[in-house]
């Protein structure tokens, strides 16, 4: 059987689409679709499989020639294009299966687009059923496996051989699924539940071996929602990773997502350094402990956030990138001041600030709906009508604080976070503190690519009057204080070029919402946003006995 696996185009002009970064590095996209490559590994080995990542190249008519089945994976940001791909395949009489986070939580748009096989849940559970139905000639089916969790210790290595790794900035692997915490605004537990599951060390090392054998060198990202969800079990795992890295002369530099309580464990910090973790995405969310408690995120309370970040810099040798949320219930009126002070005290360069987004299916969205606070446009199958990302979306529900204050605070935080003088000064401060172990020559290709990237960065920063002086000042500071941190400074500076390109669009969108609010008045504006709320029913497909 000939199968076409499609990763739809990620809409441009989004904080999550690092096109500017890819351009300056000289690649086509950030990272290959790990979920789709994992699904490919679950399919029969004798099938003819082809992956088209539309972020690398768009689908062409010739791609459908002779294809028996199209598999589409979709997140919420892919939805509009994913629906187009489904319609294109169906117009050619080709059967289509769709899965991923968005159809799992918001299936109706995919049903309306005419998908044949709707997959809600994890691939390891669903794919065997899908294959059995295809073998029996079942034309349509819904597979709702949300109540069944995959045994990830049996998950095969992803089919990395189906992509060209040189098209991407970095490649992803996975150790765990799920999260043991209950943050109200996060949809991880709605997709994977609170049961935290991990692969074995041997499985992950097999994935390391696979990408290594394919010639890949450079950044390897653990696509985990929280790598340290089980802080006891992760320690022997990290020791195994550290041994592999040493034996192979450190061909990769690692990155992942963790919770801030990593900083409480010195042994864990040391292991992160031994493994060569360079970048950590940490959800700080808010310095307001009362707001964190109301959002059911107590794991970030009871300790100093600046001290925790400093411990990560100085002991783990990794930079901290973080998100901050406005609009949380219970947050103080001076939250903008507190977030700006926290950003400065922690020297966090990459700050993703936005109003908390009621993602479809989350406990937050459900609670706001019950309380009559959820905007009509924020409903699962309509959310993309107004937003490319949660930052430019602005307000999607009635906040406890006046909406005009929340929008004003968000713009103020963004101006503070992305002022070139302040941003690059924070970069220099972090890089000068990093207890890092750079590996500048993991392979000839990566070395020369990084050298070219640094040259392009210097040119871009020098051309701009806004960044010229701050960049060279930051670079000189790091060269004097901690030359090993130059690599981190360069990476963070490249990221700034992306943020700089996105800011005008975000300010424009937030300005439109604020202008509409001012013109109509708060009461009338909220009344219009909270208007009639229809709940479309899920259309019935043949269930195929599932």
CATH classification of the domain holding 59:
3.40.50.2300
Q: Is the pLDDT of residue 540 over 60?
A: no
- Alpha carbon separation from 179 to 187, 191, 250, 352 (Å, rounded): 10, 10, 29, 21
Distance between CA atoms of residues 124 and 486, nearest Å? 42
Q: Is residue 465 part of a domain?
A: no
pLDDT band at 299 (very low <50, low <70, confident <90, very high): confident
On the 0-12 / 13-18 / 19+ scale of CB atoms within 10 A, 11 is: middle
pLDDT band at 545 (very low <50, low <70, confident <90, very high): very low
Mean pLDDT over residues 9-31, rounded? Answer: 85
Report CA Rg, the chain. Answer: 23
- Alpha carbon separation from 280 to 6, 238, 242, 277, 386 (Å, rounded): 29, 15, 17, 8, 30
On the 0-12 / 13-18 / 19+ scale of CB atoms within 10 A, 135 is: exposed
Tell me, yes or no, whether 124 and 173 share the same domain: no
Mean pLDDT over residues 196-200, rounded? Answer: 96
Q: Which residues contact 46 (CB under 8 A, 6 or more apart)?
A: none
Domain boundary among 144, 168, 203: 144
Tell me, yes or no, whether 64 and 176 share the same domain: no
- Sheet bearing 141-144, strands edge to edge: 48-53, 2-7, 69-73, 95-99, 117-120, 141-144
Tell me, yes or no, whether 169 and 258 share the same domain: yes
Mean pLDDT over residues 172-195, rounded? Answer: 86
What residues are paired with 95 via a beta bridge? 69
Helix (H) or strand (E) holding 493: helix 486-520
Distance between CA atoms of residues 7 and 16, nearest Å? 15
Q: Which of 269, 182, 282 is nearest to 224 (CA)?
A: 282
Q: Is the pLDDT of residue 439 over 60?
A: yes
Domain boundary among 385, 405, 430: 430
Query: For the chain, what percentages of helix, strand and coil (3-state, to nearest 5) are there?
Result: 50, 15, 35
Q: What is the pLDDT of residue 377?
A: 83
Q: Do the strands 197-198 and 176-177 form a parallel or antiparallel pair, or are they unpaired?
A: antiparallel
Tell me, yes or no, whether 318 and 236 share the same domain: yes
Tell me, yes or no, whether 268 and 119 share the same domain: no
Tell me, yes or no, whether 43 and 169 share the same domain: no
Residue with tokens 């159809």: 103
Helix (H, G, I), strand (E, B) or coil at 2: strand
- Sheet bearing 252-258, strands edge to edge: 171-173, 218-222, 252-258, 277-285, 319-326, 351-355
Tell me, yes or no, whether 177 and 326 share the same domain: yes
Tell me, yes or no, whether 260 and 312 share the same domain: yes
- Angle, CA 317 vertex, CA 308 and CA 274 arms, to 5°: 115
Tell me, yes or no, whether 170 and 139 share the same domain: no
What tokens appear for 264 in the block? 């409480």
Q: Is residue 478 part of a domain?
A: no
Instruction: Return the higher-pLDDT residue of 330 and 193.
Output: 330
Q: Is residue 201 part of a domain?
A: yes
Tell me, yes or no, whether 332 and 196 share the same domain: yes
Q: Is the pLDDT of residue 534 over 90?
A: no
Tell me, yes or no, whether 138 and 243 share the same domain: no
Structural domain of 200? 160-430
Q: Is residue 19 part of a domain?
A: yes
CA atoms within 13 A on the CB side of 536: 15
Q: Is residue 502 part of a domain?
A: no
Q: What is the pLDDT of residue 14?
A: 67
Q: Is residue 408 part of a domain?
A: yes
Q: What is the pLDDT of residue 76?
A: 83
Q: Is residue 402 part of a domain?
A: yes
Domain boundary among 144, 173, 196: 144
Read off the pLDDT of residues 350-360 as tens digits, 9 standing for 90 and up.
898 999 989 88
CATH code of the domain containing 398: 3.80.30.20
Give the total number of structural domains in the chain.
2
Q: Is residue 511 part of a domain?
A: no
Tell me, yes or no, whether 320 and 174 share the same domain: yes
Handedness of CA 100, 104, 108, 111 (dihedral sign): positive
């Amino acid at each position: 059987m000939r199968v076409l696996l499609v990763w739809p185009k990620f809409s441009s002009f989004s904080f999550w689409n690092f096109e500017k970064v890819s351009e300056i590095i000289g690649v086509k996209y950030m990272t290959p679709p790990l979920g789709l490559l994992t699904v490919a590994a679950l399919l029969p080995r004798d099938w003819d499989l082809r992956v088209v990542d539309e972020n690398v190249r768009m689908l062409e008519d010739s791609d459908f020639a002779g294809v028996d089945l199209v598999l589409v994976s979709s997140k919420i940001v892919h939805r509009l294009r994913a629906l187009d791909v489904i319609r294109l395949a169906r117009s050619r009489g080709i059967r289509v299966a769709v899965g991923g986070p968005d159809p799992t939580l918001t299936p109706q748009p995919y049903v309306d687009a005419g998908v044949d096989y709707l997959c809600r849940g994890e691939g390891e559970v669903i794919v065997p059923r899908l294959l059995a139905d295809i073998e029996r000639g079942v034309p349509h089916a819904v597979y709702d496996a949300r109540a069944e969790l995959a045994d990830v210790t049996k998950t095969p290595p992803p089919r990395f051989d189906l992509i060209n790794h040189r098209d991407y900035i970095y490649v992803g692997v996975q150790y765990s699924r799920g999260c043991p915490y209950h943050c109200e605004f996060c949809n991880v537990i709605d997709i994977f539940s609170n049961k935290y599951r991990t692969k074995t060390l041997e499985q992950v090392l097999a994935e390391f071996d696979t990408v290594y054998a394919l010639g890949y060198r450079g950044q390897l990202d653990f696509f985990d929602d929280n790598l340290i969800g089980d802080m006891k079990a992760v320690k022997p795992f990290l020791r195994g990773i550290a041994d592999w890295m040493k034996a192979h002369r450190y061909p990769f530099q690692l990155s992942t997502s963790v919770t801030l309580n990593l900083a409480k464990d010195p042994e864990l910090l040391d292991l992160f350094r031994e493994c060569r973790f360079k970048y950590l995405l940490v959800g700080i969310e808010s310095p307001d402990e009362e707001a964190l408690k109301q959002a059911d995120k107590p794991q970030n309370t009871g300790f100093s956030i600046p001290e925790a970040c400093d411990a990560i810099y100085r002991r783990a040798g990794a930079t901290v990138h973080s998100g901050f949320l406005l609009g949380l219930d219970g947050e103080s009126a001076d939250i903008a001041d507190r977030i700006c002070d926290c950003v400065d005290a922690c020297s966090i360069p990459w700050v993703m600030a936005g109003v908390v987004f009621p993602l479809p299916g989350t406990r937050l969205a459900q609670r706001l709906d019950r309380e009559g606070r959820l905007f009509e446009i924020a409903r699962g199958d309509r959310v993309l009508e107004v937003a490319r990302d949660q930052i430019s979306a602005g307000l999607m529900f009635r906040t406890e604080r006046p909406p005009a204050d929340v929008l004003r605070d968000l713009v103020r935080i963004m101006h503070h976070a992305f002022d070139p003088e302040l941003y690059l000064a924070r970069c220099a401060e972090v890089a000068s503190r990093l207890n890092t172990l750079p590996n500048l020559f993991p392979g000839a290709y990566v070395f020369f690519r990084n050298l070219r990237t640094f040259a392009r960065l210097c040119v871009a920063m020098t051309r701009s009057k806004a960044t010229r002086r701050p960049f060279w000042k930051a670079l000189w500071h790091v060269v004097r204080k901690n030359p090993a941190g130059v690599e981190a400074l360069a990476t963070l500076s490249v990221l700034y070029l992306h943020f700089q390109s996105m800011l005008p669009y975000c300010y424009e969108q937030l300005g439109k919402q604020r202008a509409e609010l001012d013109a109509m008045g708060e009461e009338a504006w909220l009344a219009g946003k909270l208007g009639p709320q229809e709940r479309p029913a899920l259309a019935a497909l043949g269930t195929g006995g599932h």
